[in-house]
Amino acid sequence: MAIFNGTELGVYIDGTLIAAATDCSLSLNTETIDITTKDSAGYRELLGGLKSGSISVSGLIDYLDADSNKDMVDLWTAWEARTILTLKFSKANEATGELSFTSGGIITSLEQSGGTEDTATYSCTFELTGPVTDTAA
């Protein structure tokens, strides 16, 4: 069994890691179509319908991040322009057989917060558009 540390997971925009992330998640969903009839013996029957998904990331804000990672300024720019981004959810150093997931996505939620004597943080949600592809390293 190859369990790994969640710290290794990241969200990438056009192949570049989103900076200072502390948490990330990928959620994939399938809508259902009810096809229950009187012949269903009192049980609901379903067909698979539209697929959808989202990626969320949250982390610490550094407006002066000098490295090449995507940061809060880049997220703001993409949100403002309604840009469809190429997103990848994967481990930083994928080993043979490990999956990564890629899709287009648009920022639907971008939040910044900072409490008294606390770190400034951000959270960002991308709704996926188009197919989600999986790739094994």
CB 107 within 8 A of CB 130: no
The DSSP 8-state label assigned to residue 78 in this structure reads H
Q: 97-119 pLDDT, tens per residue?
A: 788 999 999 999 999 999 999 99
Does residue 1 fall inside a structural domain?
no
CATH (domain of 125): 2.30.110
Does residue 81 fall inside a structural domain?
yes
Name which residue leads in pLDDT, 60 or 96.
60
**What is the mean predicted confidence (pLDDT) over 73-100?**
89
pTM of this structure:
0.88
The Cα 16–Cα 56 span in angstroms is 16
Q: Which domain holds residue 115?
A: 6-136
**Number of domains making up the chain:** 1
pLDDT for 63:
79
The Cα 109–Cα 57 span in angstroms is 11
CA-based angle 123:133:71, to the nearest 5? 25
Buried b (16+ CB within 10 A) or exposed e, 16-54: ebbbbbeebebeeeeeeeeeeeeeeeeeeeeeeeeeebb
Residue 2 has pLDDT above 70, yes or no: no
pLDDT for 73:
86
Among all chains, which residue has been given the structure tokens 């960002």?
124
Does residue 42 fall inside a structural domain?
yes
Does residue 93 fall inside a structural domain?
yes
Cβ-Cβ contacts under 8 Å for 130 (sequence gap 6 or more):
103, 104
The Cα 19–Cα 10 span in angstroms is 9
